Amino acid sequence: MMRILEEVGRLFARVSFKRRKGDTDDSALETIVFGLQRLFGLDADQIFLLTPDQHYEMLAVDETPEMARDKVLLYAALNAEAGYVYQRQGNAVMARATFTNALRFVLKARAKFSTEGLPGFAPKVAELLEALADEPLDVVTANLVNEQVNPEALSP
């Protein structure tokens, strides 16, 4: 599992680098989907049939707390990167959906697992909130944010 996390982490780094350079082509989204496939060990069509709650459960069950946290945060990072790609492509609906999913997963991970020694790929709550600032958050996400509204929850 550690090898898969490292591989998906490298894929994430590549997509993140490409995004910062302005690359918005579909290959970035394909790389993100491939990262999700590796993370879950499932085909894309199987992954997208599952709900985010099912995704969370699959990532966290039968794992050490640190491994579960890192898997959940990597999933969140991949979603955040997809959000940035969709945002640059002008697809506001998909950008908002993936940013929201990323924010929920980061907040759940921070509530359940240690925040000591977070991996470098962990999305920043403040950046996700900024990306979602154009509209009010849905009730579930707003409640998660309100439970963690303090300077430590919003720090990197």
Question: If you average pLDDT over every residue of the chain, what do you get?
Answer: 86
User: How high is the pLDDT of residue 125?
Assistant: 94
C-alpha to C-alpha distance for 99 and 76, rounded to whole angstroms: 8
User: How high is the pLDDT of residue 31?
Assistant: 84
Tokens representing 120? 């470098």
Q: How does pLDDT run across 38-89, given as a tens digit for each residue?
A: 899 999 999 999 999 999 999 999 999 999 999 999 999 999 999 998 998 8
Enclosing H/E stretch for 18: helix 2-20
What's the predicted TM-score (pTM) here? 0.84
Which residue segment(s) compose the domain that 36 sits in?
2-154
Q: Is the pLDDT of residue 2 over 90?
A: no
Number of domains comprising the chain: 1
C-alpha to C-alpha distance for 66 and 115, rounded to whole angstroms: 10
Q: How does pLDDT run across 4-41, given as a tens digit for each residue?
A: 666 666 666 666 666 666 666 667 888 888 889 989 99
